[in-house]
Amino acid sequence: MAEAELPAPVSLRRFDLSDLDDYWIWASDERVTASCSWEAYKNKDDLRRYMAETVLPNPWFLAIIAGGRPVGAVSLKIPEAANDRCRVELGYVLAREWWGKGVATAAVRLATEAAMAEIQGLERVEALVEIGNKASLRVLEKVGFQREGLLRRYWWNKGLIWDMAIYSFTTADSFLI
């Protein structure tokens, strides 16, 4: 897949319920949600409830802003056990029309940098990507994440068992963008 990467100023911020219509654009798109753990939303009330209950209260569930509006989300999963909190898992999702423009790369870099600066004791940001999702593997590599290996038959999602590449960015790494 050829990518036309135009530089697009990208920023991150907390979501607000007024973002519902923008959120709906990617959250209802099956091409986008195919690689997610969740199904595309079929009605806006369900999405509003998810935003109110799950998205808004989470300080690490952030809107990716490009062209002045939310075009996706990046979030961090912080482990339950205190002993595991030297690591967080990063995930992101982006509206289809914004693929191939460097937006995800910028968002991953911004989120990783913010996490390292703000989360006490954090040494490692990790991300898991299905091995066949080349565009997503490239996003992480362009930021400066290192591929550590392949976790075989790691994730059961949507009726299939997935092999996942595991990447990380640690305090020993430098951003490439």
Partner 1 sequence: METEENRKGDNRSIHLPPPPPISLRPFDTSESDIDGLVALAADAAANRFLRRGPFASRDDAVRFLHDKVLPHPWYRAICLPDGRLVGSISLRPGISGDGAPRSASLGYRVAPKFRCRGIATEAVRAATAAAFEEWPELERVEAVADVENPASQRVLEKAGFAREAVLRDYMVLKGESRDVIMYSCMSRDRMARKTLKT
With beta carbons less than 8 A apart as the criterion, state whether 171 and 116 touch.
yes
Task: List Cα–Cα distances, 45 to 24, 53, 61, 136, 168, in angstroms.
Answer: 10, 12, 19, 30, 36
Nearer to partner 1, 8 or 161 (CB): 161
Nearer to partner 1, 25 or 151 (CB): 151
Least separation, in Å, of the C-beta of 173 and partner 1? 9
Nearer to partner 1, 22 or 123 (CB): 123
d(C-alpha 6, C-alpha 27), whole Å: 24
Secondary structure (3-state) at 91: strand
Least separation, in Å, of the C-beta of 123 and partner 1? 4
Nearer to partner 1, 20 or 119 (CB): 119
Rg (CA), the chain: 16
Least separation, in Å, of the C-beta of 104 and partner 1? 23
Q: By CB under 8 A, name the binding residues for partner 1.
A: 83-87, 121, 123-124, 126, 146, 148-154, 156, 161, 166, 168, 170-172
Written as six digits, the tokens of 147 are 């591929």
Least separation, in Å, of the C-beta of 94 and partner 1? 24
Secondary structure (3-state) at 4: coil
